[in-house]
A and B are shown apart, each in its own frame.
Chain A
Amino acid sequence: MQKVLGRIQAQVLRSRATNALANVVRHEATSSRTAAKPAATSKEFRERQVRFNIKNEQTEGRPLYLDAQATTPMDPRVLDAMLPYLTNFYGNPHSRTHAYGWETESAVEKAREQVATLIGADPKEIIFTSGATESNNIAVKGVARFYGTKKRHVITTQTEHKCVLDSCRALENEGFKVTYLPVLANGLIDLQQLEETITSETSLVSIMTVNNEIGVRQPVDEIGKLCRSRRVFFHTDAAQAVGKVPLDVNAMNIDLMSISGHKIYGPKGVGALYVRRRPRVRLEPIQSGGGQERGLRSGTVPAPLAVGLGAAAELSLREMDYDKKWVDFLSNRLLDRISSALPHVIRNGDAKATYNGCLNLSFAYVEGESLLMALKDVALSSGSACTSASLEPSYVLRAIGTDEDLAHSSIRFGIGRFTTVEEVDYTADKCIKHVERLREMSPLWEMVQEGIDLKTIQWSQH
């Protein structure tokens, strides 16, 4: 219905509302609206047109950035650490016969230690990869395949990142059995259900720490304890969690952990995988080659990127409390402002077990894409960057049981270390203004105001 109305307005705009056309439009409007209200006259229509017009609202410059789950800007201190290895110190860290190799190797090993310290691991347990997607692939496929002769079952959840789900799908094609655990309405898994799903055939449980779309934080310590007691390996995709929430692989019984560089203010194109040595986790490497990184990830380690990841890891460990307070403050401010001004705003995912830097809100009776278009000067996303090219509602929101119309109206606010109060206030004000504007245009909103329960309406197939 919204679409019909939009089309009518577009027509009016194009024809400059010549009398004849306006009549046609008016006719269309009456026929498409089943409500008893009289159709708008062309004068009224033009007034609305002016009121709803946001054509000249665009400000100059680039939009402000509020999509910290997609990627984060690199911390200048990280760049400082990297620069020498992009210029003068260009040796191959695996060269054993000259000083160029040695100096780079020692820098890479220092970075390995920095990453290990962040998650309470031993440096030997860290292998550098190209990012969390690769880490997830190596972990999920590698463990399942290595133990595949005896155990052929893998457990994951429906809200995992696409690369975990796709790795599992690849395993299914190889004859593995995969269980995709459902999640509760708050986005958390049911531990009882997980326990019942683990069998003697299960080799791996893969559950992400913080969800990239709704920010929900799974109880990894309890999952780890359960997996250890059932002697099943536990992999967690911690790309969104590392450096933002305290993690300790030993205290939480985590056997494998995926880490991403560019989500923690580090460079893009680098990540890490933690692989436990005791009790030993073995996996079949995906990539063949020179046997670097314990043979698990052959290929020359990109020294500048690894150094950057190390520096980012150290910074995020040192400033974790500071960052947390700042992100919590901004996130609460944004949420308070929006929810105090607007009714029918739903927060997706659990409000307590969450990382506040990821705030996913559904604005009922507003189409998410329309709101994103209106908020052109704010870089936002309706969900994960990987799937935002499609207009399909997010599978994560569907998994938590969000109604389709609400899933279509969701926006993810990603707040990070460099987000400012002004940015949050600007976004909140803009958001409130445009939600109100779009709702005013929406016939659904009108019906809700009149007290009609939309769920009782039988929409006819046209």
Chain B
Amino acid sequence: STGLALKTKDVVNITFVRANGDKIKTSGKVGDSLLDVVVNNNVDLDGFGACEGTLTCSTCHLIFKTSDFEKLPDKPGDEELDMLDLAYELTDTSRLGCQITLSKDMEGLEVHVPSTINDARAA
């Protein structure tokens, strides 16, 4: 029973909001990236995570609420910023999902998925 308690404690609930307003409720474990959450739960987001987290595509572009964005522990690195510069619908609170690691205090996090993605590898 302690195992189960530990398990529920590690689970973080996440909501992806599509551009049309549809909400996809799902969950991931502490330590997973937001890209892992999408892949593990087969979340239906077209083209999401094309480069599998190698920072070469910008398809896992996600838009955070300002308050959530400011709480994120790490600032985006140069490589991530390079990719974000190529993303469509870039905002001041944009991040790449593959670079965001889930922690317990992210419980209930809501992130917006832009309506279009740009696979930067297809030059």
Contact = CB atoms under 8 A, between A and B. Distances in A.
Contact of A291 (B78, B81, B123): B123
Most chain B CB within a 10 A radius of its CB, from A290, A291, A296: A291
Contact of B120 (A280, A282, A291, A296): A291
Contacts of A295: 85-86, 120
B82 interface: yes
Interface in B55-89: 78, 81-82, 85-86
A94 B81 CA distance: 21
Contact of A94 (B85, B86, B123): B123
Contacts of B81: 277, 280
A278 interface: yes
A218 to B, nearest CB: 29
A294 interface: yes
Interface string A195-234: 0000000000000000000000000000000000000000
A224 B45 CA distance: 45
A280 B82 CA distance: 10
A419 interface: no
A278 B78 contact: yes
Interface string B108-123: 0000000000101111
13 contacts: A94-B123, A96-B123, A124-B78, A277-B78, A277-B81, A277-B82, A282-B85, A290-B123, A291-B118, A291-B120, A292-B123, A295-B85, A296-B85
Contacts of B121: 96
B47 to A, nearest CB: 15
Nearest to B86: A295
Interface in A280-300: 280, 282, 290-292, 294-296
B45 to A, nearest CB: 21
Interface in B86-115: 86
A96 B122 CA distance: 9
Interface string A407-425: 0000000000000000000
